[in-house]
Chain A
Amino acid sequence: MRRFARLFAALDGTTKTAAKTAALAAYFRDAPEEDRLWTIALLSGRRPKRAATATELREWAAEAAAIPLWLFEETYPVVGDLAETIALVLPPPGTDSGLPLGVHMRGLISLAGQPASVRRAAILSAWDGLQPDERFLFNKLITGGFRMGVSQGLMTRALAQATGVAETTVAHRLMGDWSPLTTTFAALVQTGDPQSDATRPYPFALAAPLEAAPETLGDPQDWLAEWKWDGIRGQLIHRAGAFALWSRGEELITGRFPEFAPLADFLPAGTVIDGEVVAWGGTGPLPFAVLQKRIGRKSLPKRLLAEVPAHLLAYDLLEEAGQDLRAAPLCLRRARLEALLHALPPGLPIGISPALAAADWPALAALRAAARDRAAEGLMLKRRSSAYHVGRKRGDWWKWKLNPFTVDAVMIYAQAGHGRRATLYTDFTFAVRDGDDLVPFAKAYSGLTDDEFRRITDWVRKNTLERFGPVRRVVPEQVFEIAFEGIQASPRHRSGIALRFPRMLRWRQDKQVAGIDTIQTLRALLAGQRGYSTPAPPEDI
């Protein structure tokens, strides 16, 4: 834990990306091998189940510190962080356990499901062997509010520096469903594990929002236009003996969409398809709200499968006959995809996401204006000559949304409502990412159903990090799509912007915090809005 705490201090003590990368690369060279693996897991959002609730931790810490609970509660707001309050309030360590991060992590995992007395004894004993800065991190690992100020990209770069493996290769190897319990650093990063290679997805190529006028993209013939579907982005993999469907959040969702299983019998081995999972209405997709009935459910009754059948609208072919096609131009990948799908028998839950033909930009704009009729959010514009990039690389893939004014944001504060809704948490503050930080930018209290408010209220109660009077700071985990009518510069706000009529368009339980929008997105929306000489067209409002 010492080495991990030193890494954290180095990352925490600088805001410079180069210094953070160097500190992390040094760590990936000299930390215990198992710790490196756990660090990668933690930094890519792979957290173990909580070994204790915040309430239990407070009580155990107050007991160990021999102070009454009320005194702990009074101290907490001064410190401002639960993990740190516990770390500082405990008496000095009785021993130096000297245990590395990996041992603590395995210990925490083994505590899941144990009776409270067992978990209490284990955590008290761990605390007693750790210095305050180590305890702070240990507590963060339990409470899950762990932010080291390191993006996935920065970590990938540091790993590439430390190991000499190419950055894109590292990014690919870190994808998918691996666990530090079953792999090694060498297998994961340095050589790649052939076994998990079979179902490992490629990093998704991401589109940037188009804020400028489309004419700035040049000749429309250079661009492939498609509907921007409103479903779940998914990567379908069929390789020898392996069949998997991954969500963009790197979640394995094969089991949640059993209707895709027959595809394994028809798609040739060595096929990887990128597409959108949608609820299918026979000839076209149904609104996202319909698909949402299937998200987050443990069981899938037959009735639901019949009512909300899933369908994959395929838009890219990443691997064909076991060959990585990502470097080939989109037009070629697209032609191969069409040929592949054409060869399939009818009746399978897969189809091509059609290319939209239009002579010029105004014609495309007219198509886009009618996107809602197709249950689409707007258009995707992809450069025909482009490779399939790792992550978001501006310039080749654009999302040209019907309503430009929506962003994915994470809830950071919750407050109870008034009157009828006084028992529910209904007033939320949302943040977007700014580098490694979260910047609050909007408050909203409408747009969810009572049932959703009840569920989020339950969640808020269990995931409170801090209280300020009626306001609770919560674990930044729940993603919402925020819609708004306008955006303007506002020096009074920390984000520098103010929104008009922000509201929750929907609760994106399918999305993770890593995938939310950034302050740059908002700034670009602001700049784009200023850039137009005419007001936004009516369909954008």
Chain B
Amino acid sequence: MARAPVLTFTDRGIFCPAGGFHIDPWRPVDRALITHGHSDHARPGHGRYLCSRQAAPVIRHRLGPVRLETIAYGETRRIGGVTVSFHPAGHVPGSAQIRVEQDGEVWVASGDYKVSADGLSDPFEPVACHSFISECTFGLPVFRWDPQEAILAQINRWWAANAAEGRISILGAYALGKAQRILSGLDTGIGPILTHGAVETTTEILRSQGCALPATVAVTAGISAKSHPRAIVIAPPSAQATPWASRFGPNAAAAFASGWMRLRGVRRRRGAETGFVLSDHADWPGLNAAIRETGAERVFVTHGYTAVFRRWLESQGYDAGIVQTEYEGEGIDSAQPDTAGDVPG
């Protein structure tokens, strides 16, 4: 009788029968291996957690006192009948792909990933495998990212132009990953950097882990457009256009940084905001390159345009399947996650 596959797909999440653990499960389980700290991957309520050493501080902060073990990138660990190791996914600081080997058969669950280096996260590392479980949030050929330097330069130009007009700039970005990626590229000569509480907390944690990030000021009661007229405010998207943001005055310029900003329709639906095309997910060429480099014959796709992407992979000669997950990812029009546990884009 053939043994069960190395990884299976259940209504609680990806499950490894021989290891007795789940990967990024969305319902409580005994043992959870977590790829990264975004709220749709690191959920509360599991018996035991295992994550990368770099991801642990944020996950501890978000989930409180849980039983959490850590593992270094590349370190192998025997769990039940399988060997697991974590490898950089390049998505956000601490994010990992999880490699599971059973009797010489290798599966990799990518979690969320991007292939271009962002200067903060350990860069994506291709891991050879037989079966690859890949996200495909932006798995359509219209999604193609410009280099990060070009986008950060656009953001600085936008901020400088607003500052010259005496308008505060409010930039929406997810609290874990996107916010720090932007912070690391801001030109502090333009003005002060203010942060929403959710961004400030995560930034402080990453700073204490050694990320080089500029000085930020958390927005508190006394801070307004008057006190910091040339400032840029980094806030979770959901905090924009709320009473919290009204302190920056009716003239404040709003913008949003997300891969979805590539589409004019999405930009227009979000009103008069400026859109910066900056994503922590792989673009179309990135997804294709990453999948090719694993050497996998079988690919399972999760969050995104799974049906279309699967058909594409099949046309490219892969044995492809779809995994139904409850990772929220970022829907095309959602972009409104809660402020505490942000969902990535």
If the complex has contacts A13-B272, A13-B274, A15-B272, are A84 and B308 also in contact, measured as CB distance less than 8 A? no
If the complex has contacts A13-B272, A14-B272, A15-B272, are A75 and B140 also in contact, measured as CB distance less than 8 A? yes
Q: Chain A residues with Cβ under 8 A from B305's Cβ?
A: 74, 78
A85 near B265: Cβ-Cβ < 8 Å: no
Bound form: Cα–Cα A25–B83 in Å = 67
B332 near A78: Cβ-Cβ < 8 Å: yes
Q: Chain A residues with Cβ under 8 A from B104's Cβ?
A: none
B144 near A78: Cβ-Cβ < 8 Å: no
Interface core residue of B142, B274, B332 (most chain A CB under 10 Å): B142
A67 near B141: Cβ-Cβ < 8 Å: yes
B265 near A74: Cβ-Cβ < 8 Å: no
If the complex has contacts A13-B274, A89-B142, are A81 and B264 also in contact, measured as CB distance less than 8 A? yes
B141 near A75: Cβ-Cβ < 8 Å: yes
* Contact indicator per residue, chain A 67-90, by CB within 8 Å of chain B (1) or not (0): 110111011001111001100110
B264 near A84: Cβ-Cβ < 8 Å: yes
Bound form: Cα–Cα A87–B263 in Å = 11
Bound form: Cα–Cα A14–B308 in Å = 35
Bound form: Cα–Cα A15–B272 in Å = 8
A85 near B272: Cβ-Cβ < 8 Å: no
B263 near A79: Cβ-Cβ < 8 Å: yes
Bound form: Cα–Cα A300–B220 in Å = 78
Tell me the minimal C-beta distance from B329 to chain A in angstroms. Answer: 14
Contact residues of B between 129 and 151, Cβ < 8 Å to A: 140-144
If the complex has contacts A14-B272, A15-B272, A78-B332, are A88 and B144 also in contact, measured as CB distance less than 8 A? yes
**Is the C-beta of B244 less than 8 angstroms from some C-beta in chain A?**
no
Tell me whether chain A's interface is mostly helix, strand or loop, or mixed: helix
Q: Chain B residues with Cβ under 8 A from A12's Cβ?
A: 264, 268
If the complex has contacts A15-B272, A79-B142, are A71 and B308 also in contact, measured as CB distance less than 8 A? yes
A78 near B142: Cβ-Cβ < 8 Å: yes
* Contact indicator per residue, chain B 136-168, by CB within 8 Å of chain A (1) or not (0): 000011111000000000000000000000000
Contact residues of B between 272 and 314, Cβ < 8 Å to A: 272, 274, 305, 308, 311-312
**Is the C-beta of A65 less than 8 angstroms from some C-beta in chain B?**
yes
Q: Chain B residues with Cβ under 8 A from A74's Cβ?
A: 140, 305, 308
Q: Which of A13, A85, A92 contacts B142 (CB 8 A)?
A: A85
**Is the C-beta of B334 less than 8 angstroms from some C-beta in chain A?**
no
Q: Chain B residues with Cβ under 8 A from A84's Cβ?
A: 263-265
Contact residues of A between 451 and 495, Cβ < 8 Å to B: none
Q: Which of B141, B262, B265 contacts A65 (CB 8 A)?
A: B141
* Contact indicator per residue, chain A 230-269, by CB within 8 Å of chain B (1) or not (0): 0000000000000000000000000000000000000000
Bound form: Cα–Cα A65–B143 in Å = 12
- B274 to chain A: closest residue by CB: A13
Tell me the minimal C-beta distance from B288 to chain A in angstroms. Answer: 11
Interface core residue of B140, B263, B312, B315 (most chain A CB under 10 Å): B140
Bound form: Cα–Cα A68–B305 in Å = 16
Bound form: Cα–Cα A14–B271 in Å = 9
Contact residues of A between 87 and 126, Cβ < 8 Å to B: 88-89, 92
Tell me the minimal C-beta distance from B253 to chain A in angstroms. Answer: 11
* Contact indicator per residue, chain B 257-268, by CB within 8 Å of chain A (1) or not (0): 000001111001
Contact residues of A between 1 and 42, Cβ < 8 Å to B: 12-15
Bound form: Cα–Cα A70–B305 in Å = 14
Q: Chain A residues with Cβ under 8 A from B315's Cβ?
A: 68
B262 near A81: Cβ-Cβ < 8 Å: no
Tell me the minimal C-beta distance from B303 to chain A in angstroms. Answer: 15
Bound form: Cα–Cα A401–B143 in Å = 53
Q: Which of B141, B144, B262, B274 contacts A71 (CB 8 A)?
A: B141
- A91 to chain B: closest residue by CB: B144
Bound form: Cα–Cα A81–B269 in Å = 14
Q: Chain B residues with Cβ under 8 A from A89's Cβ?
A: 141-142
Q: Chain B residues with Cβ under 8 A from A67's Cβ?
A: 141, 312
Q: Chain B residues with Cβ under 8 A from A72's Cβ?
A: 141
A88 near B142: Cβ-Cβ < 8 Å: yes
Bound form: Cα–Cα A84–B264 in Å = 8
Interface core residue of B141, B143, B262 (most chain A CB under 10 Å): B141
If the complex has contacts A65-B141, A88-B144, are A71 and B312 also in contact, measured as CB distance less than 8 A? yes
Q: Chain A residues with Cβ under 8 A from B272's Cβ?
A: 13-15
- B146 to chain A: closest residue by CB: A92
Q: Chain B residues with Cβ under 8 A from A13's Cβ?
A: 272, 274
- A87 to chain B: closest residue by CB: B142
- B307 to chain A: closest residue by CB: A74
Q: Chain B residues with Cβ under 8 A from A65's Cβ?
A: 141
Tell me the minimal C-beta distance from A8 to chain B in angstroms. Answer: 10
Tell me the minimal C-beta distance from A218 to chain B in angstroms. Answer: 43
A78 near B274: Cβ-Cβ < 8 Å: no
- B332 to chain A: closest residue by CB: A78
Bound form: Cα–Cα A91–B144 in Å = 9
Q: Chain A residues with Cβ under 8 A from B311's Cβ?
A: 70-71
- A73 to chain B: closest residue by CB: B308
Q: Chain A residues with Cβ under 8 A from B308's Cβ?
A: 71, 74-75
Bound form: Cα–Cα A72–B264 in Å = 17
B142 near A75: Cβ-Cβ < 8 Å: yes
B142 near A81: Cβ-Cβ < 8 Å: no
Q: Which of A14, A15, A70, A81 contacts B265 (CB 8 A)?
A: A81
Bound form: Cα–Cα A436–B141 in Å = 31
Q: Chain A residues with Cβ under 8 A from B274's Cβ?
A: 13
Bound form: Cα–Cα A15–B311 in Å = 40
Tell me the minimal C-beta distance from B202 to chain A in angstroms. Answer: 30
Q: Chain B residues with Cβ under 8 A from A81's Cβ?
A: 264-265
Tell me the minimal C-beta distance from A13 to chain B in angstroms. Answer: 7
Tell me the minimal C-beta distance from A340 to chain B in angstroms. Answer: 53
Q: Chain B residues with Cβ under 8 A from A88's Cβ?
A: 142-144, 262-263
Q: Chain A residues with Cβ under 8 A from B263's Cβ?
A: 78-80, 84, 88
Bound form: Cα–Cα A6–B213 in Å = 33
* Contact indicator per residue, chain B 312-342, by CB within 8 Å of chain A (1) or not (0): 1001000000000000000010000000000
B144 near A92: Cβ-Cβ < 8 Å: yes
Bound form: Cα–Cα A13–B274 in Å = 7
Tell me the minimal C-beta distance from A84 to chain B in angstroms. Answer: 6
Q: Chain A residues with Cβ under 8 A from B332's Cβ?
A: 78
Q: Chain A residues with Cβ under 8 A from B140's Cβ?
A: 74-75, 78
Bound form: Cα–Cα A89–B274 in Å = 22
Tell me the minimal C-beta distance from B153 to chain A in angstroms. Answer: 15
- A92 to chain B: closest residue by CB: B144
* Contact indicator per residue, chain A 115-147, by CB within 8 Å of chain B (1) or not (0): 000000000000000000000100000000000
Tell me the minimal C-beta distance from B263 to chain A in angstroms. Answer: 6
- B143 to chain A: closest residue by CB: A88
Bound form: Cα–Cα A352–B134 in Å = 77
Bound form: Cα–Cα A88–B315 in Å = 22
Bound form: Cα–Cα A278–B195 in Å = 69
Interface core residue of A74, A92, A136 (most chain B CB under 10 Å): A74
Tell me the minimal C-beta distance from B265 to chain A in angstroms. Answer: 5
Tell me the minimal C-beta distance from A91 to chain B in angstroms. Answer: 8
* Contact indicator per residue, chain B 7-32, by CB within 8 Å of chain A (1) or not (0): 00000000000000000000000000
A sample of 23 inter-chain contacts (CB < 8 A) reads A12-B264, A13-B274, A14-B272, A65-B141, A67-B141, A67-B312, A70-B311, A71-B141, A71-B311, A71-B312, A74-B305, A74-B308, A75-B140, A78-B142, A78-B263, A78-B332, A79-B263, A80-B263, A84-B264, A84-B265, A85-B142, A88-B144, A89-B141
Q: Which 4 A-B pairs have the closest CB atoms?
A: A88-B142, A80-B265, A74-B308, A75-B140
> A: which residues have CB within 8 A of B?
12-15, 65, 67-68, 70-72, 74-75, 78-81, 84-85, 88-89, 92, 136
> B: which residues have CB within 8 A of A?
140-144, 262-265, 268, 272, 274, 305, 308, 311-312, 315, 332
Q: Known pairs A12-B264, A13-B272; list 5 more (Cβ under 8 Å).
A: A12-B268, A79-B265, A84-B265, A85-B142, A88-B262
